[in-house]
Amino acid sequence: MILSYIRTIMLHLVLIFSLRLMGKRQIGQMEASEFAVAMLAADLAAIPIQDNSIPLIAGLVPSLTVLGLELVFSGLIMGSIRFRQLLCGKPVILIDNGKVLQQNMRKTRITLDELMGLLRQKDVLEISAVQYAILETNGDLSVFPYPDEKPANARDAGVAVGEQYLPIPIIEDGHLFPENLKKSGKNEKWLDNHMKKHKITPSRTFLLTVDQGGNVYLIKKEDGT
Partner 1 sequence: MKRSYFGFALVLTLLALGLLGSTALGRIHTPLAQAAAEAAGEAEAGNLPAARELIRQVEVKWNAHRVLRQALIDHRTLDAVDSLLAELEAHDALGRTGSFAAGCRKLAQALENVAQDQALTWENLL
207 near partner 1 (CB under 8 A)? no
User: Per DSSP, what are the bridge partners of residue 145?
Assistant: 130
| Separation CA 138–CA 93 (nearest Å) | 14
Q: Write the burial class of residue 136 (CB in 10 Å: 0-12 exposed, 13-18 middle, 19+ buried).
A: middle
| 53 versus 225: smaller Cβ distance to partner 1 | 53
Residue selected from 72, 86, 112, 219 as contacting partner 1 according to rule CB under 8 A: 72
Q: Is 91 in the site for partner 1 (CB under 8 A)?
A: no
What CA–CA distances, in Å, run from 144 to 73, 134, 140?
31, 9, 13
Question: By CB under 8 A, is residue 65 in contact with partner 1?
Answer: yes
User: Could you tell me the smallest distance in angstroms from the CB atom of residue 210 to partner 1?
Assistant: 33
Closest distance between partner 1 and the C-beta of residue 98, in Å?
41
Residues in the chain: 225
- Measured CA to CA, the distance from residue 177 to residue 31 in angstroms comes to 34
| Sign of the Cα pseudo-torsion (194, 197, 203, 209, in order) | negative
The reply to whether 9 sits near partner 1 by the rule CB under 8 A is no
Query: Residue 36's closest CA among 27, 49, 45, 46?
Result: 27
Residue 21 lies near partner 1 (rule: CB under 8 A): yes
Closer residue to partner 1 in complex, CB, 68/98:
68
Identify the residue among 56, 105, 124, 143 touching partner 1 (CB under 8 A): 56
Among 6, 69, 86, 152, binds partner 1 (CB under 8 A): 69
Contacts with partner 1, residue ranges (CB under 8 A) = 21, 23, 52-58, 61, 64-65, 67-72, 74-76, 78-79
